[in-house]
Chain A
Amino acid sequence: MHTVLLVLATFAASAVEMVEALTIVLAVGVTRGWRDVATGVSAAVVCLVAVVAALGPALTHLPINTLRLVIGGLLLVFGLQWLRKAILRAGGLKALHDEDAIYQRELAELRAAGGGRGPLDWYGFTVAFKGVFLEGLEVAFIVVTFGAAQGHLGVAALGAAAALVVVLAVGFAVHRPLSRVPENTLKFGVGVMLTSFGMFWTAEGAGVTWPGSDAFIVVLIAFVLTISFGFVTALRREMPLLVSGQAA
């Protein structure tokens, strides 16, 4: 019975962390392209395997809060940049698809010049790498701490592996429907997600305990969505004033 409970507990705790990583990977993959995001995920998995193999049970001594602070802070800055641009586009103050047009033009020029596969999209690579590496480390912590506490490391790893299979299946199922969502809407969504996760990890790394623990991410996403729509509405309301001000 203890074994079943251990598997279930590790499964649930790992699944929460994996869904967080999956959200980031899907959001960035759909908007920036899958090639470099896949490279970022692969690099993160290789680094994770190396860290886990090198440290083993000593993994729990890594300064996880410092990692959360640094990675969360970077995600928050990235996320706010995305969100700011998406709000400006939705509010009518910035042309739609401008960055994509520039990126596609540069890509075409590089390919025409014999660049082969084109340049690595560092943005997609880095965000995917950070998301998967941090969440992967947290899964490894869960397995080591749950497994060590019960004296069944292998059983705890089984729970995490089952969670990985389920979360990967969900990811494959939803990535196609997601790719049909309009690009600007997706970029808005990515900004909201990166900002929300960035806030969550940063504050945790700084020593804060969120009310309701990991479940508070949902509240943060709702909060960021609400203020973003509020800003878009305010910008759209000002647009007619701007036009009529010029006409006067």
Chain B
Amino acid sequence: MSRITNFGRFWYDFVIGDDWTIALGVVASIALTSLLAHHFHLAWLVVPVAITALLALSLGRAQRAAWTVEADETFDP
């Protein structure tokens, strides 16, 4: 069982990594691009805009997490 778990964890870490929302966001932006590609000539903008938003959200979460950890470490009741 642990071998299967390790195998699954390896592939999860390999493909998804630290922040699963990035992988999900990429899939969603690809799907939206596919839908718009044949009807909207500016469909190429979807992926660049999406990756900017995904990075901003992910980095914001990492920053808030760093704040929380730092605050916990300095808290002295």
Contact = CB atoms under 8 A, between A and B. Distances in A.
Contacts of B26: 73, 76-77, 80, 202
Given A73-B26, A81-B18, A208-B33, A231 B59 contact: yes
A228 B37 CA distance: 27
A73 B43 CA distance: 16
Contact of A207 (B16, B34, B52): B34
Interface stretch (A83-91, A131-139, A165-173, A182-190): A83-91
B15 to A, nearest CB: 7
Contacts of A87: 55, 59
Contacts of A207: 33-34, 37-38, 43
B59 A206 contact: no
A103 interface: no
Interface in A64-103: 69, 73-74, 76-78, 80-81, 83-85, 87-88, 91, 93-94
A238 B46 CA distance: 29
B17 to A, nearest CB: 4
Contacts of B17: 77-78, 81
Contacts of A84: 18-19, 22, 55, 58-59, 62
Interface in B31-71: 33-34, 37-38, 43-44, 46-48, 51-52, 54-56, 58-59, 62-63, 66-67, 70-71
Contact of A246 (B16, B34, B56, B71): B71
A18 interface: no
Instruction: Say which size band chain A's interface belongs to.
Output: 35 or more
Contacts of B46: 203
Interface in A217-244: 220, 223-224, 227-228, 231, 235, 238, 242
B30 A202 contact: yes
A85 B74 CA distance: 25
A203 B42 CA distance: 11
Contacts, number: 94
Nearest to A208: B44
A199 interface: yes
B48 A223 contact: yes
A123 B14 CA distance: 7
A81 B22 contact: yes
Nearest to A227: B52
Contacts of B37: 203, 206-208
A211 interface: yes
A227 B15 contact: no
Contacts of B16: 77
A88 B64 CA distance: 12
10 contacts: A73-B26, A76-B51, A78-B17, A80-B54, A84-B62, A93-B66, A203-B46, A207-B37, A207-B38, A238-B63
Interface of A: 69, 73-74, 76-78, 80-81, 83-85, 87-88, 91, 93-94, 122-123, 126, 195, 199, 202-203, 206-211, 220, 223-224, 227-228, 231, 235, 238, 242, 246
